[in-house]
Amino acid sequence: MHWLYLLLALLFMAMAMKSTAPGWLVVLLVLAALGLFLAWMLGWVASRVSSGARDDVSMISPEELRQLREQAEARKRAAENPVSPDDSQP
């Protein structure tokens, strides 16, 4: 949808180039072309931001976060206290 704003802004720029009346030139250039160009820019930025946003469904629940922390602590304890092969055999 935001590409439509850019096309309309270019159309109004072309109309402003063909205009002979100074009043229409101001209306076409400032109000129409510049306004539509800014609308296109804001729409483009909004679509870029929303395309990079994460989905709420993919967020980690508190229970999953607790399990991940427990696993990380267990790995940390295992790394601090390595079991040698001599200790495991009777």
pLDDT in tens, 77-88: 988 887 666 655
What lies within 8 Å, CB to CB, of 3 at 6+ separation is 40
Report pLDDT for 88: 56
Please check whether residue 28 is in contact with residue 4, taking contact to mean a CB–CB distance below 8 angstroms: no
Tokens 């999953």 correspond to 64
User: What is the pLDDT confidence band of residue 67, given thresholds at 50, 70 and 90?
Assistant: very high
> Is the full-model pTM beyond 0.75?
no
What is the three-class DSSP state of 33?
helix
